[in-house]
Structure 1
Amino acid sequence: MEELDVDPPLTTIPGVNSKKKCMGFDWGPGEMLVYETCYENQRRAEKGLGCPFIRIVQRDEDIYSPVLRKLFNESHGIFVGLQKSEEELPSKSRKTQLVRVSKNYRSVIGACMEEMHQLAVSTRDAALTAQYTSQVSVLSAMELIWNLCEILFIEVATAGSLLLHLLDWVQLHVCEVDSMAQEVLNSENLTKHDKYWNVITSYVLQGRMDEARQMLAKEANATAASRGMCRILDGLMKKMPVFSPGGTQTLTEFELKWQHWHEECERYVQDGTFASSSHLESICKILLGDEATLLKQKELLTTWYHFLVSRLLYTHPMVKPAELHVYAQSSLDMFLGGDSSPEPLDNILMAAFEFDILQVIKEFSITSSNWWFVAHLTDLLDHCQLLQTHNLYFGSNMREFLLLEYASGLFAHHSLWQLGVDYFDHCPKLGRVYLELHIERIPLNTEKKALKVLRICEQRQMGEQVRSICKSMAMKAVRNNRLGSALSWSIRARDAAFATLISDRFLKDYCEHGRFSDLDLIDNLGPAMLLSDRLTFLGKYREFHRLYGKKCFPEAAKLLLSLMTARIAPCSFWMTLLMDALPLLEQKQVIFSAEQTYELMRCLEDLTAVKPDMGETDERRLQDDGDDVETTKVEMLRLALARNLSRAIVKEGTLDGW
């Protein structure tokens, strides 16, 4: 986009004097840390202390509003539904679908606006009331602009139907006349009420002739002197031509009919038919489209775009879209009259009347505090194929740029980040890159949240992020001494080194307490135990315990011996394995064969010889920490092995003799 036409608003940070001190800052995904340094602007050291606080400047504070969060959540479903309906429909059906989507967006804005209004009315806190009122104004402006863009860019209203849509637009957004009418109708003598004629005039200005005639009939019934004039005016209102887009009447026929009606109104004014009643004469002049009379009703019109629509209704009802900007600009100039300059909202509406979509997006981006409006409107207009030719210089198109900015803001919130994932998914060029960067910054406070993030990564084949999350959660579990959870995360990460480390912790814990923790996990490792040798050993060693518990001694002995000879157990665990063999050696029946017993003897000798591949810690433990205990264990094992060997030789010799 081009450079900003206006300077961005200044944000005042309490306690920080940027004129005297240099400021330091650090950017974050959705916020910025700002602090005062100890240096003056002239780079000289400042004596004394400055502001001691670090301030957090949030980029988008709207995401923390409970009501606006509903806006974000509801619109997310509409957005995703629109992306999933990408299959090409016939042009007419496609247009109908896009109009329906646009109305859904507007209904969500309207619901949030109503809820915000209720909060503003009900709260007693003056600051909150001001905040809610301000947000209601913003939502109202959003709905106003969106509705106009829907008429001009999505409905693509043509001459005749265009004005009808604009009348609906004005009636929807300028609704003071309804409350005023209710006030008049509730009065005892409504024709004498000081707002009675204002109500009739307002109805006429909005083209609501049926309501205006009903109200005017009250005057005809109450005042005999004006009854004839009221009937004439009622007849003019009744005969006013209204274009029907679905009818058989052609534009030319309607224009001729409207011209005859307009000449009739002009004739009554020139004849002075209503000269005795200023109110009736004023209404007739409005029907005639007299600009001076219309401008006198500024208080009832309230806005220049209401003046525009009323002016077109009574001067040029068949206005074409290409002519709209000329009337809009002149109406704005006439209504303001040089007394004031246009507001940002006026500039946005004017850009829409000029059919300058990019300027609408640019102007609203400057004035808005968040990206919701421009992101969703641009996406919808892109589906209307109105932004196909506009690419940004850094490789992304307008739609994707705004969606990326909006989704990045959502990731700053503790729960709305989940919505941001879908927005990134539908940004084909840079969406995945943004998602990978943002998802790594999500604080994994709980395992439930970590699993949610992990599932998102796995669904999108984000292998690096999956491993990073699993390693992070495994480390956190180890620090909290939750070995089962740590092992589960390391297996999920396919991290052999970390799985080995945790397996060693399990074995160490077993040596200290004589039992395993998290048996369910170890018992159900399945193929995951093949991730590392140490994990394989842990699973098989647990299987040995199960066999021993079931008194399947031969199978248990065979598995234990295979664990010893495979050398996949840590050196520090060899003595534990040999001591596990001791009860099997002392069984009445011979469990270990002579050959197996020789294997156990060799393992014992290897252990006592302290092989060079044993670590210094293990050697020191054998030599210093428990010489007496270790010596006793070795002697017990040698005696048991010798006894078992003799029994095995006798048994095997006897069998051979047979």
Structure 2
Amino acid sequence: RLCVSMRCVSMLCVWRLCVWLLSWLSPCDLSPLSFCARFTSDFAFPGFDETLTEFELKWQHWHGECFNHLQCGTFSSSQHMESICKILLGDEDALLEKRDLMTTWYHYLVSHLLFTHPTVKPTELHSYAQSSLNTFLAAASSPEPLDNILLAALEFDIHQVIKEFSIVSSNWWFVAHLSDLLDRCELFSSHNMDFGSNMREFLLLEYASGLFSHHSLWQLAVDYFDHCPKLGRAYLELHIERIPLTTEKKALKVLRICEQRQMSDQVRSICKIMAMKTLRHGRLGSALSWSIRAKDAAFATLISDRFLKDYCERGKFSDLDLIDNLGPAMLLSDHLMFLGKYREFHRLYSEQQFIDAANLLLSLMTASIAPCYFRLTLLLDALPLLEQKEVIFSTMQTYALMKCLEDPKRVRRSDSSIENTKVEMLRLALARNLARSIMKEGTLRS
């Protein structure tokens, strides 16, 4: 593979040299030209089924024939053809004479080696490269960063290559992928760093950390962290908490990443942050949904109270779809359960299932899960049921409601004349219902 690469680069160089030299030929140079063309076409290149020894013998024969023609003066009639022959023999002075046709020192290196030492061993490349660099560059010139990288590569010093690239590169993309590729090919002898990671993982972590600061590439960094078995998860947990959750869409993306990796602490943290944000914007439904996902009982209780207070002020619920579909989530807190059951009472009442609605209302009162500020509202909800033509509450249920109404620990009283009027109306309705229920039950016994 090395010889094939050298052939491609060198032939390009020779072609450019020949084009330049042939442009100076006169008709009298045609005979030397035919010799030169034959030498160029007969130049020995290794075959795929040819051994190294066979190739060296063939190349030595070609080189010797070319040298003999130069010594015999075959090309003495044409200075340019003689220059071509010297180049084919690898004459250093002849090559450097045409330095302006070669763009870099490694262009010169390949051309020189191809015509002087085509079977060079990989371990010898570095010394030839250093010599070519010193020869090709002017005394005042200093090596470029790429020159140092190539020298380290030709010396097979992988760590130095990575170090040099890290110095000149604006990011860690190349060194991260190079170290990963070499590690997978088992050519990279990674050594452990002071903090427990190896070189491959360290470079991947640094590159992924840089991606996380980008507004649109941060999701790619997650995949890189996933391929770092030792510290990848710790880095991901650290960076995921720093992502600005500017929109719910972005928050859901981050949440999905955390849920896929069972990062329960980060899931709760994200949900709490979003619950607080949506609550500050007055979006009670979204806030409750996020608090349920966070499994935060205290916050769910707070938002449930906001729903109930909002109902007390407006006389109706917002976000009915969410409340109607709480399901098992209402077990998260007592106030959330009360909110769900109270909404169920309203649904039963609207469907004219009065007996079921009355039983549920009474159970909510006697179970003591209703907030103190809401118990009077709960009792007042019994008024429409007490005024029905059919007796809904039994005698025992009516006594239970009366007890709740008169118990100061259960119902907070206020000095509001409106509330006092409502309480008096409730007492009257309870007394009337008690009489009706006693008469009904007595009739049934008879």
Tell me the TM-score range normalised by the shorter chain.
Answer: over 0.9
CA positional deviation for 1:275:
2.5
Query: Which residue of structure 2 aligns with residue 642 of structure 1?
Result: 431
In the alignment, structure 1 residue 311 sits paired with structure 2 residue 112: yes
Q: Which residue of 1 aligns with 2:187?
A: 386
Q: Which residue of 1 aligns with 2:77?
A: 276
Residue type at the aligned position of 2:299: F
Pairing 1:344–2:145 present: yes
Equivalent residue of 1:623, what SS? coil
Q: Which amino acid aligns with 2:309?
A: K
2:46 to 239, 243, 257: 243
Instruction: For 1:401 and 1:227, locate their aligned partners in 2 and report how far apart those are by CA, in whole Å.
Output: 63
1:478 is matched with: 279
Q: Distance in 1 between matches of 2:49 and 2:227?
A: 44
| 1:492 maps to 2:313 | no
Which residue in the other structure is 2:367 paired with? 566
For residues 321-341 of structure 1, what are the alpha-carbon distances to aligned partners after superposition, in whole Å with 9 as ceiling and x for unaligned? Answer: 111111111111111253322
Compute the displacement of 1:597 (Å): 1.0
> 2:167 pairs with 345, 351, 366, which one?
366
State how far apart, in whole Å, the 2-side matches of 1:504 and 1:166 are: 79
CA distance in 2, matches of 1:307, 1:497: 75
**Alignment correspondent of 1:594:** 395
Deviation at 1:217, TM superposition (A): 12
The alignment covers a number of residue pairs equal to 446
CA–CA distance in structure 2, aligned partners of residues 204 and 379 of structure 1: 34
Q: What's 2:35 paired with?
A: 232
Segments of 4+ moved more than 4 angstroms: 215-220
Distance 1:284 1:439 in 2: 66
Q: CA deviation at 1:605?
A: 1.0
**CA 359–304 in structure 1, closer or farther in 2 if over 3 Å, else same:** same
AA partner of residue 101 (structure 2): L
1:97-144: CA deviation from partner (whole Å, max 9, x where unpaired) = xxxxxxxxxxxxxxxxxxxxxxxxxxxxxxxxxxxxxxxxxxxxxxxx
Call closer, same or farther: CA 1:218–1:337 in 2, change over 3 Å: closer
Which is higher, the Rg of structure 1 or of structure 2?
2
Say yes or no: does 1:455 pair with 2:256: yes
Q: Distance in 1 between matches of 2:78 and 2:364?
A: 111
The code of the aligned residue for 2:169 comes to: S
Q: 1:426 to 1:204 in 2, by over 3 A?
A: closer
User: In the TM superposition, what whole-angstrom CA distance separates every residue of 1:30-68 from its partner, at most 9, and x where no partner exists?
Assistant: xxxxxxxxxxxxxxxxxxxxxxxxxxxxxxxxxxxxxxx
Q: 2:246 aligns with which of 445, 449, 456?
A: 445
Match 1:623 to one of 414, 418, 429: 414
Superposition pairs of residues 12-161 of structure 1, within 5 angstroms: 161=1
1:202-213 matched pairs, under 5 angstroms: 204=11, 206=13
Q: Which residue type is aligned with residue 642 of structure 1?
A: A
Q: Name the residue aligned to 1:164.
A: 4
CA distance in 2, matches of 1:205, 1:588: 107
| Aligned residue in 1 for 2:444 | 655
Distance in 2, matches of 1:461 and 1:257, equals 66
**Counterparts of 2:5 and 2:392, CA distance in 1:** 94
- Secondary structure of 1:226's partner? helix
Shift of 1:388: 3.2
2:266 is matched with 465
Q: 1:504 aligns with which of 299, 305, 311?
A: 305
SS at match of 1:516: coil
- Counting only pairs closer than 5 Å after superposition, residues 253-264 of structure 1 correspond to structure 2 as 253-264=54-65
Structure 1 residues 311 and 218, CA gap change in structure 2 (3 angstroms): closer
Change in Cα spacing, 1:649 to 1:346, as seen in structure 2 (3 Å) is same
CA drift at 1:375: 0.8
Is contact 1:167-1:207 (8 Å) kept?
no
Instruction: Give the deviation of 1:399 after TM superposition.
Output: 0.6
The CA deviation string for residues 559-611 of structure 1, in whole angstroms up to 9 with x for no partner, is: 111111111111111111111110011000111111111111111112xx2x2
TM-score by length of 1: 0.65
Distance 1:557 1:423 in 2: 59
- Match of 2:217? 416
Which residue is equivalent to 1:76? Answer: none
TM-score scaled to structure 2, two decimals?
0.95
* Residue 280 (structure 1) shift: 2.2
- Cross-structure match for 1:585: 386
Residue identity over aligned pairs, in percent, reads 70
Mind listing any 5+ residue stretches in structure 1 that lack a counterpart? 1-160, 172-202
CA change 1:418–1:353 in 2 (3 A) is same
Distance in 1, Cα, partners of 2:280 & 2:437: 49
Task: Return the alpha-carbon distance in structure 2 between the equivalents of residues 388 and 342 of structure 1.
Answer: 28
Q: Distance in 1 between matches of 2:69 and 2:398?
A: 126
Superimposed CA distance per residue, residues 362-412 of structure 1 (whole angstroms, 9 cap, x where no aligned partner): 111112221111111111111111223422222111011111111111111
SS in 2 for 1:509: helix
Between 1:343-352 and 1:272-281, the stretch displaced more is 272-281
Output one character per residue of 1:278-316: Cα deviation in whole Å (capped at 9) or x when no partner: 332222211111111111222111211111111111111
Q: Is contact 1:206–1:310 with CA below 8 Å preserved after alignment?
A: yes
Secondary structure of 1:564's aligned partner: helix
SS of 1:307's equivalent in the other structure is helix
Change in Cα spacing, 1:581 to 1:523, as seen in structure 2 (3 Å) is same
2: CA distance between counterparts of 1:579 and 1:653? 27
Q: Please give the root-mean-square deviation of Cα atoms over the aligned residues, in Å.
A: 2.0
* Contact 1:219/1:227, CA 8 A, preserved across alignment: no
Contact 1:217 / 1:230 at 8 angstroms: preserved in 2? no
Matched, 1:356 2:145: no
Q: Contact conserved, 1:233 with 1:280, CA < 8 A, in 2?
A: yes
Shift of 1:440: 0.5
Separation of aligned partners in 2, 1:282 and 1:217? 8
Alignment check: 8 A CA contact 2:172 2:207 kept:
yes
Partners of 1:205 and 1:310 within 8 A in 2? no
Taking the aligned partners of 2:29 and 2:361, their CA distance within structure 1 comes to 114
Aligned partner letter, 1:265: C
* Structure of higher RCO (CA pairs closer than 8 Å, 6+ residues apart): 1
**Residue 230 of structure 2 aligns with which residue?**
429
Write the distance in 2 (CA, Å) between the matches of 1:597 and 1:431. 65
